[in-house]
């Protein structure tokens, strides 16, 4: 996430990922303190500063705990853009209902998986067992860091510097990333 900065609440809980411009503005007016920097420098006509990577707010922000919503983007992030039937990785996957909608299948975390077009066509309006397919993993609602959307968290977890700040809030998510 080049050009993005992880924003932590005063208690070090991850809150958001913002642009470097927003982070610098918060630093300049004293709303945040930089905890980590990148090797790059920011220059203006009168000053220069190191490029922030992680900032912590100076005051605690109280927010209600958000609910993890089902979306195409969240399902693809949970399944790591991998077809759950054949293992094909792609950015152009479809979403498949394990139990087809016509048979009462719902739009729930337990019934939706990432699927390539070939497997989706092969499965059709059948269950995976009827189509001779097997799921690569047990699917369900992911546990995630509050305030960061699941897809944002999945991307943020790839940043080595940010991992130290994310891991205490979701150590199970960091395995295999």
Q: And the tokens for 151?
A: 């897809």
Instruction: List CB contacts of 166: < 8 A, sequence separation 6 or more.
Output: 6, 14, 145, 153, 156, 157, 173, 174
What pLDDT is attached to residue 146?
62
What pLDDT is attached to residue 69?
83
How far is it, in rounded angstroms, from Cα 129 to Cα 80? 23
Tens-level pLDDT at each residue, the chain (177 residues): 468 999 999 999 888 899 999 999 999 999 999 999 998 998 889 888 899 999 999 999 988 777 778 999 889 988 989 999 999 998 889 999 999 999 999 999 999 999 999 999 999 999 999 999 999 988 988 776 667 777 788 788 888 889 888 887 665 555 555
Contact criterion met (CB below 8 Å) for 41 and 51: yes
Domain residue extents for the chain: 4-65+144-174, 72-131
How far is it, in rounded angstroms, from Cα 122 to Cα 111? 18
Q: And the tokens for 98?
A: 């394990």
CATH of domain 72-131: 1.10.30.50
What pLDDT is attached to residue 1?
43
**Cβ count near 21 (within 10 Å):** 11
**Cβ count near 36 (within 10 Å):** 17
Q: And the tokens for 116?
A: 């390539």
Strand partners, 54: 6, 36
**Cβ count near 127 (within 10 Å):** 14
């Amino acid at each position: 996430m080049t050009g993005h900065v992880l924003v932590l609440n005063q208690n070090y809980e991850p809150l958001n990922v913002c642009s470097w411009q927003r982070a610098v503005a918060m630093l300049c007016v004293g709303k945040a303190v930089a905890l980590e920097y990148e090797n790059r420098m920011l220059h203006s006509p009168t000053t220069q500063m190191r490029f922030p990577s992680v900032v912590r707010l100076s005051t605690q922000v109280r927010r209600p705990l958000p609910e993890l919503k089902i979306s195409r983007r969240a399902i693809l992030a949970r399944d790591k853009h991998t077809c759950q039937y054949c293992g094909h990785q792609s950015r152009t996957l479809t979403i498949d209902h394990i139990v087809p909608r016509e048979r009462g299948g719902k739009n729930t975390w337990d019934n939706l998986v990432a699927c390539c077009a070939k497997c989706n066509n092969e499965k059709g309006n059948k269950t995976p067992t009827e189509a001779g397919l097997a799921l690569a993993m047990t699917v369900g609602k992911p546990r995630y860091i509050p305030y960061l959307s699941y897809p944002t968290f999945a991307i943020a977890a790839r940043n080595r510097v940010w991992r130290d700040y994310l891991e205490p809030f979701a150590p199970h998510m960091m395995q295999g990333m």
